[in-house]
Chain A
Amino acid sequence: EAEVAQSPRYKITEKSQAVAFWCDPISGHATLYWYRQILGQGPELLVQFQDESVVDDSQLPKDRFSAERLKGVDSTLKIQPAELGDSAMYLCASSLSSGNYNEQFFGPGTRLTVL
């Protein structure tokens, strides 16, 4: 069964360092999402791509976060510099398209700890 792949699964870093997370969506899925899930809360959308274009990054802290999906397939989310408050689970999801009712399939997530 096709799955969304993410790496690394766990990352520990010190504040002010740079970190990067990678996501490979299900083959053929045009829409890719990055969510942040703080402990005890539900996931919150950071950025949504349609193919290689960003369609929603309204909740992305653009002073330190960046995301790209250069060829419209896999994607990288970067934080530079990391802050203590960035400790969270970062989830990637994909769907066939961005139309409503399109099921989003989630990867296992990357758990980030900032010391």
Chain B
Amino acid sequence: GNSVTQMEGPVTLSEEAFLTINCTYTATGYPSLFWYVQYPGEGLQLLLKATKADDKGSNKGFEATYRKETTSFHLEKGSVQVSDSAVYFCALSEEYGNKLVFGAGTILRVKS
């Protein structure tokens, strides 16, 4: 079945450091790919998405590129802030039906 694997955390960075959170997927067909963020005490929020190969999703300084050849969707940010501390989930949406399949999540902690 479809699955998502993302790097284990926690990831601890200093403010203004470069962030990469790796995500790879296994899927049949042509899934859409997403990054969701969950701040403490809140629900999941969509951070960015890409719906086809080579698409780049971007939002709030975060970017991720849909790489079909490596089945990857790595999340990057050039300069993290303390306010970026949260749990980040990579997910795919199956080609039909809009069901989301999530990775286990990666905790990001940014120190000032």
Main secondary structure of the interface of A (DSSP, over half): loop
Q: Give how many A-B residue pairs fall within 8 Å (CB-CB).
A: 66
List residues of chain A with CB within 8 A of the CB of B49.
Answer: 101, 103
In the assembled complex, how far is the CB of residue A100 from the closest CB belonging to chain B, in whole angstroms? 6
Q: Do A98 and B98 touch across chains, with their CB atoms under 8 A apart?
A: yes
Say which residue of B32, B100, B104 sits within 8 Å of A41 (CB atoms).
Answer: B104
Q: Contact flags (1/0) for A50-64 with B, using CB distance below 8 Å?
A: 000001100000000
Q: Do A108 and B43 touch across chains, with their CB atoms under 8 A apart?
A: yes
In the assembled complex, how far is the CB of residue A51 from the closest CB belonging to chain B, in whole angstroms? 14
Say which residue of B43, B51, B94, B104 sits within 8 Å of A106 (CB atoms).
Answer: B43
In the assembled complex, how far is the CB of residue B106 from the closest CB belonging to chain A, in whole angstroms? 10
List residues of chain B with CB within 8 A of the CB of A42.
Answer: 4, 89, 91, 102-105
